[in-house]
Structure 1
Amino acid sequence: MANPRTRGLIRGTALASLLAVGLAIGVTGCSREPETGNSQAAATANPGPGGPFTLVDTKGQTVTDQTLKGKPYAIFFGFTRCPDVCPTTMSRMALLHKRLGSDAEKMNVVFVSVDPEHDKREDIASFLSMFDAPVIGLTGDPAELERMEKSFKVYVERVPLPNGDYTIDHTARILLFDRDGQFVDTMDAKEPETQAVERLRKLIRA
């Protein structure tokens, strides 16, 4: 059985391979929504992301907004075939979660697929297995996902590719919610690690 260090190297190699292949063949993409100024300022000017939803996790169990209450959570909307922003952001969230130490179990990290056509439960489970952190992976009925994207104020646009495939442009921010399910703030994956960890710790202890 591989030791923790070996398993970490395997995960790192798998992630590096995913990034290399995705960028090389250009089959799918993943990008930020069109920039219209400071995204955090925009979120502040238009508060209120969040609301009821009913999805399923990678084990087929129903997860709702009520299920997540009791712990603060960080939620990211993406898709498993994304070659850059999604794996980079999830890797970052896994690192921050680990840096929380004993506080890590007091908050949840959530990944919601915006590609229900391709991302089945097993695809999401395989994608999330690359990251060394417990992540709640969610998918569901396309209509419910679309409704959730709107209520969470997430930009999602399917973009056709010349080869007949498609990519998805979407919001690249991480949304932070408190233990009551109320929106608190957004987080950029490039935020300095120490600052980001302290923000999450503050959210946990609020």
Structure 2
Amino acid sequence: MKSRTLAITALSLSAAFVAALVALMWSLYLAEPRARPFEASFALIDDQGRPVDQSIFKGHPALVYFGYTHCPEVCPTTLYEVADWINALGGQAQNLKAYFFSVDPERDSQEVMHDYVNAFSSRITGITGDPQEMKKVVDGWLIHAAKLPSENGDYHMSHTVSLLLIGADGRLKGLIPYGTDREVALAKIRDVLLKQSGGG
């Protein structure tokens, strides 16, 4: 009986180790830029009610963030930083776009998104629409987005918190993790996006 218990314990520990290893490898994979271009087709709207499709990722460098307006801390902090970065870059950022895609389009209507993004900067474009269409974008960039129940009976969203740096060719050039130092973020935007597009 004792040997059987030890065997079960060993198997459990092995399974836990494998699960932890897989999780680590997956997190490292998500942290690496994926150089392939965005290939999915989708139909959404921006916060002005204008139609938006996959062509939004071509022709100019862009800062792309996935979040939601009910987000308590990470999303507003990130959008505040995006507004600050654009302001700090000045003329260098004249061709730089900034997009805030909602991972909670059921609650984030066009009007809600418009009021939300404009509280940070008129340079940030909010994008929402049909949940199935948004899922195409989320899956296309391998973004994590999951609805989780809250204690009050409502729900909140678990989502990727890194900001994507998309080149004018529509390819992912890099990431800015949440909490990155301001000067480090500005240097990365200049080096990874603006110099390549002629904005530096």
Instruction: Report deviation, 1:51.
Output: 3.0
Instruction: Report deviation, 1:48.
Output: 4.0
Instruction: Report deviation, 1:146.
Output: 1.2
- Whether 2:127 is the aligned partner of 1:138: answer yes
Residues 61-119 of structure 1: per-residue CA shift (max 9 Å, x gap): 11122134211001000000111000001111111111111012211010000111111
Q: Aligned match of 1:128 in 99, 111, 117?
A: 117
Compared CA separation, residues 169 and 186, structure 1 to 2 (3 A): same
3-state SS of 1:100 partner: helix
Amino acid in structure 2 at the alignment position of 1:77: F
Amino acid in structure 1 at the alignment position of 2:98: V
Structure 2 segments unaligned to the other structure (5+ residues): 1-22
- Whether 2:31 is the aligned partner of 1:43: answer yes
3-state SS of 1:184 partner: strand
Deviates more, 1:110-119 or 1:193-202: 193-202
Compared CA separation, residues 116 and 132, structure 1 to 2 (3 A): closer
- Whether 2:70 is the aligned partner of 1:61: answer no
Q: Give the aligned CA root-mean-square deviation in angstroms.
A: 2.1
Structure 1 segments unaligned to the other structure (5+ residues): 1-34
Match of 2:142 in 1: 153
Deviates more, 1:173-182 or 1:189-198: 189-198
Q: TM-score, normalised by structure 1?
A: 0.76
Contact map agreement 1:97 1:133 (CA 8 A) in 2: no
Residues 120-146 of structure 1: per-residue CA shift (max 9 Å, x gap): 011111111221351111011111111
Compared CA separation, residues 133 and 192, structure 1 to 2 (3 A): farther
Compared CA separation, residues 90 and 123, structure 1 to 2 (3 A): same
Cα distance in structure 2, aligned partners of 1:124 and 1:93: 16
Q: Aligned match of 1:204 in 194, 197, 200?
A: 194
Cα distance in structure 1, aligned partners of 2:132 and 2:74: 24
Q: Aligned match of 1:190 in 174, 179, 194?
A: 179
Give the number of the structure whose alpha-carbon radius of gyration is greater. Answer: 2
Identity of aligned residues (%): 31
Runs of 4+ in 1 over 6 A off after TM superposition: none
Compared CA separation, residues 195 and 163, structure 1 to 2 (3 A): closer
Cα distance in structure 1, aligned partners of 2:155 and 2:59: 38
